[in-house]
A and B are shown apart, each in its own frame.
Chain A
């Protein structure tokens, strides 16, 4: 099921990365990125620089390639059936799309939370959180592992709700709790960047609010990219916003990218304005 057909025929170099500058850490620079499913072009020629320690929202109507784009950022796109990308993504100046980059190492630095909560049903709550560390053999000391579990659950604002039932199955939690468990699980491996693919679309408003608060707190230390079809959510939580739209050839293209306040109050592109004012989508 694994296809790894990465074409690097297009030459690209990191533009904005300057070696040695600490505040550049966690910057993702996407250059001329296109992605296919087999022969179907899903997104084309996307270039954007994702700021560190900020929340970047990717918005757009359904089918515009939001999820495809975010899945490219940690090499999850190639796990899809016949998935293939072209172009470059630089993390700290290193092209993570290069054929010789180990996707497993990339995914340890760039964590991901999916649309539907995905706790591992055969593991307890605490084992779910420590799964990343245990199964990558980065950790073996049981006591330290427990500390990581507690720390991660606290950061995901779930500790108080589950501290008395860490041994129970992750599937026993409510949808919102499961999603925060997945966030805690992603945090436990200490990633630099966290990708959230419509993390609230399966949740009720209260659970959504909790996740949004959590994202704001996490943004102090992490680079966060969130895909959302909910424009209010993008306006509430994000610092930067990217608007994607499907063009005539059915491929998603980046229409506008900039600070969220600018994009929502003063869009430069007519299509962005039409979308955020609710004329379509």
Chain B
């Protein structure tokens, strides 16, 4: 080995190492900047009124996003209500019952669905739900969020079910337990933390979605007035308020952004907790 070749390799090693270090630093810096800036601008705008007051007309000071917070909860709840049964059963089908070929094509379809731009999901739901019902509605918003949620829930449920050793399946079947019973009582409990993790990640994802709500839930200045009426949501109101020329509304948009980020952050931390418990 020549001395020169060695020193060149040592140098290229240093260059690549520092480049990848800088790249990692940049990635983290973006997160820190977003968190920091929303914290500075949002936390100061957060007060009790923000949680307890509805929106006020232009020019009237004060007001808050009580209606939008409730709206987001209702929309996420509706989305989960529609998506969880479908997603979980699809995940169970993929992991436990489908033949390898069927599973491969269903999995491929789910991955494509997960990659569909959320605005396209919104337009689709506008065409098949909003138009026939002749109204923007909380229901339509829930459907749009559910479509985004289903592939995430199905794929994470499938992955966690596959982690349960096949010896557990065989042990259950060898006791004379039917396949469905074995899945429900032995396999699913074994994969529960993984499945819950997937559900929470999906909830975190849809809680922040704006595009699919634009032509489905539409947004509303009033509170909840029925499932077939338009409803407000935090991300929609951030969009509306942030674009407005009024300083007070912009301030509230920052507060709402801060609240959303905190929500997603809290869910992520919870997910990590669950994950580490599974490993323990």
- B133 at interface (Cβ–Cβ under 8 A)? no
Within 8 A of B (CB), among A158-185: 182, 185
Q: Which residues from chain B contact A104 at a C-beta distance below 8 Å?
A: 173, 176-178
Judge whether B175 and A76 touch: CB under 8 Å. no
Kindly state the separation between the CA atoms of A108 and B173 in the bound complex, as whole angstroms: 9
Asked if A76 contacts B167 (CB within 8 A), the reply is no
Give chain A nearest CB distance to B174 CB in angstroms.
4
Bound form: Cα–Cα A122–B192 in Å = 10
The answer to whether B168 and A135 touch across the interface, beta carbons within 8 angstroms, is no
A118/B168 contact (C-beta < 8 A), A1-B99, A111-B174 known: yes
The residue in chain B whose Cβ has the minimal distance to the Cβ of A133 is B175
B82 to chain A, nearest CB (A): 28
Task: Find B181's partner among A111, A120, A135, A189 (CB 8 Å cutoff).
Answer: A135
CB pair B167–A108 under 8 Å, yes or no, is: no
Contact A186 B173 (CB under 8 A): no
Given contacts A1-B96, A2-B97, A121-B190, is CB(A76)–CB(B181) below 8 Å? no
Provide the residues of chain A in CB contact with B211, threshold 8 Å: none
Q: Which residues of A contact B98 (CB under 8 A)?
A: 1
Q: Please measure, in the bound complex, the distance between the C-alpha atom of A118 and the C-alpha atom of B173, giving whole angstroms.
A: 12
Query: B164-183 vs A: 1/0 string, CB under 8 Å?
Result: 00011111111111110110
A132 proximity list for chain B (CB < 8 A): 175-177
Q: Taking A1-B96, A135-B185 as contacts, is the C-beta distance between A114 and B175 under 8 angstroms?
A: no
Contacting pair B177 A114 (CB below 8 A): no
Given A79-B170, A135-B181: A122 and B175 interface contact (C-beta under 8 Å): no
Q: Complex Cα distance A189/B174, Å?
A: 11
B residues less than 8 Å from A85 (CB atoms): none
**A116 close to B (CB within 8 Å):** yes
**Residues A74 and B174 in contact in the complex (CB < 8 Å), given A2-B97, A116-B167:** yes
Is there contact, CB below 8 Å, between B175 and A136? yes
Residues of A within 8 A of B62 (CB): none
Which residues of chain A are within 8 angstroms of B174 by Cβ–Cβ distance? 74, 76, 107, 111-112, 114, 186
B102 → A minimal CB distance (Å): 11
The answer to whether A21 has its CB under 8 Å from any CB of chain B is no
| Interface hits, B154-206 → A, CB 8 Å | 167-179, 181-182, 185-186, 189-190, 192
Known: A1-B96, A1-B97. A111 touches B175 (CB 8 A): yes
Docked complex Cα distance between A132 and B174 (Å): 9
User: Among the interface residues B167, B171, B173, B177, which one has the most CB atoms of the partner chain A within 10 A?
Assistant: B171
Question: What chain B residues lie within 8 Å of A108 (beta carbons)?
Answer: 175-176
B167 near A135 with CB under 8 A, answer no
**What residues on A are CB-neighbors of B185 within 8 Å?**
131, 135
Q: B residues 88-108 with Cβ under 8 Å of A?
A: 96-100
In the complex, how many angstroms separate the beta carbon of B180 from the nearest chain A beta carbon? 10
Contacting A at CB under 8 A, from B25-52, are none
Shortest distance in angstroms between B197's beta carbon and chain A's nearest beta carbon? 16
Q: Is A105 close to B, CB under 8 A?
A: yes
Within 8 A of B (CB), among A115-166: 116, 118, 120-123, 131-132, 135-136
* Interfacial chain B residues near A122, Cβ < 8 Å: 186, 189-190, 192
Known contacts A76-B170, A116-B167, A118-B168; A135 and B175 CB within 8 A of each other: yes
Among B97, B168, B173, B192, the residue within 8 A (CB) of A120 is B168
Q: Is the pair B175, A185 in contact by a Cβ cutoff of 8 Å?
A: yes
Pick the contact of A114: B170, B182, B186, B189 (CB < 8 A). Answer: B170
Let me know if B181 and A136 touch, CB within 8 A: yes
Contacts A1-B97, A135-B182; is A107 near B171 (CB within 8 Å)? no
Task: For the complex formed, measure the closest distance between the CB of B84 and the CB atoms of chain A, giving whole angstroms.
Answer: 21
Whether B176 pairs with A2 at a CB distance below 8 angstroms is: no
Give Cα A118 to B164, complex, Å. Answer: 12
Q: Which residues of A contact B168 (CB under 8 A)?
A: 118, 120
Of B171, B176, B186, which is in contact with the most chain A CB atoms at under 10 Å from its CB?
A: B176
- Neighbouring A residues of B97 by C-beta, 8 Å: 1-2
Residue-by-residue, is A69-99 near B (CB-CB < 8 Å gives 1, otherwise 0)?
0000010100100000000000000000000
* A104 to B172 Cα, complex, angstroms: 11
Please indicate the chain B residues that have their CB under 8 angstroms from the CB of A114 in the complex. Answer: 167, 170-171, 174
Which 4 A-B pairs give the minimum distances between C-beta atoms? Answer: A108-B176, A118-B171, A132-B175, A112-B174
Interface residues of A (CB under 8 A from B): 1-2, 74, 76, 79, 104-109, 111-112, 114, 116, 118, 120-123, 131-132, 135-136, 182, 185-186, 189
B→A interface (CB under 8 Å): 96-100, 167-179, 181-182, 185-186, 189-190, 192
Between-chain CB contacts (< 8 Å), 19 pairs: A1-B99, A74-B174, A76-B170, A79-B169, A104-B173, A106-B176, A107-B173, A108-B176, A111-B174, A112-B174, A118-B167, A118-B168, A118-B171, A122-B189, A122-B190, A131-B175, A135-B182, A136-B176, A186-B175
